[in-house]
Amino acid sequence: MILRIMAAVALITLTSCKVTSLESERAAAPAVVSWEDLPAKIKARTAFVQLEKIHSADWSVDRSGLIDLEHQTARSAGLSEGPEPIQIFLFSLVHPRAGRYFIDTGIAEIFKGQQEEWPVSSVIRGAMNMEALQIKKTTAEVLQKGAVAGVFLTHMHLDHILGGADILPEIPFLVGPGESTSRHWQNMVVQGSTDRLLGKNRPLRELGFESTAGGLAVSDYFGDGSFFVIHVPGHTPGSLAFLAVTTDGVHLMTGDTCHTAWGWKNNVTPGTFTRDKAANALALNKLKELTEQLPGIQVHPGHQNL
């Protein structure tokens, strides 16, 4: 019995790997601000960003992945398993000094072609129900408006890096703490596809910032109160949410800390797609609390419009 347990532990350890074989460089997140100070920092902004939400694709996946159907609120509402229509979004952000950045990558031109040519394995294609993807706008089309200086990833799940092939290989991708360096046995299945989607020599920067007591870690990324990067661990170790301060008001991009409109309205975390449900719930609670302090804020869940 003990031998069997030891063998199982050894197997799990041996097969645990990072989500990508690319090496990331660690970069300190600039201008870390305390969670409590965030609403005041937003009000004191000295610049605005322009934000455009791009509907890259329609898609459909299992509801039990997107919403925790075991949650009491979901049970009371009578939610059950089934296909849930969702979207893939890309956000384009223009800062007056730093230029254009993307949040996530959208979907690349190559996905208009034969499935056998797609830069993902056939196992992933089936497991992710990728046959259901319907492209609305490719990332190459979005890039006709102007080049990007960098790409922030809400996290490194495959549906957030499908546009990698359309983005020049030297453009850096920025991820949250531990996102590209933590290990898990499931990564064994996705690592090859993740590598191909990112590109062979993609510069990967993992932002390092510690959370302040009782709050989430926040970086005032451009130092002028126009754009904040928030570490929301739970869905994945390095999941990020973003706050953009525009002339049209404040926008919160939750990433997959909350995939759906129903999940946001009812404060219910994602289901089986989330790695650490308890941490995800804490992060989602904090984001909900923040929005209550910012009347008029526009919230963008990861895969649906509110």
**Distance, CA of 209 to CA of 31 (rounded, Å):** 10
Helices vs. strands in the chain: H and E counts, helices first = 9, 14
| Minimum distance of Zn ion from residue 136's CB (angstroms) | 16
Closer of 98 and 156 to Zn ion (Cβ): 156
Q: CB 103 → Zn ion: shortest distance, Å?
A: 12
Q: Which helix (H) or strand (E) holds 62?
A: strand 50-62
Nearest to 236 by CA among 207, 270, 209, 274: 274
Nearest CB to Zn ion, comparing residues 101 and 273: 273
Closer CB to Zn ion, 24 or 304, in the complex: 304
Query: Which residues bind to Zn ion, rule: CB under 5 A?
Result: 159, 256
Rg over CA atoms, the chain: 19
**Closest CB 105 distance from Zn ion, rounded Å:** 11
- Chain centre to alpha carbon of residue 31: 21
Our CB check for Zn ion shows the closer of 19 and 33 to be 19
DSSP 112-177: GS-GGGSSS-HHHHHHTTGGG-EESS-HHHHHTT---SEEE-S---GGGSTTGGGS-TTSPEEE-T
- The distance of closest approach from Cβ of residue 225 to Zn ion in the complex, given in angstroms and rounded to an integer, is 28
Q: Which tokens go with 196? A: 């191909």
Which CA distances in Å does 257 have to 82, 95, 101, 290? 21, 25, 21, 14
- Least distance (Å) from Zn ion to the CB of residue 295? 28
By beta-carbon proximity to Zn ion, the closer residue of 105 and 291 is 105
- Residue number, 177 or 301, with CB nearest to Zn ion: 301
Q: From the CB of 271, what's the least distance to Zn ion, in Å?
A: 13
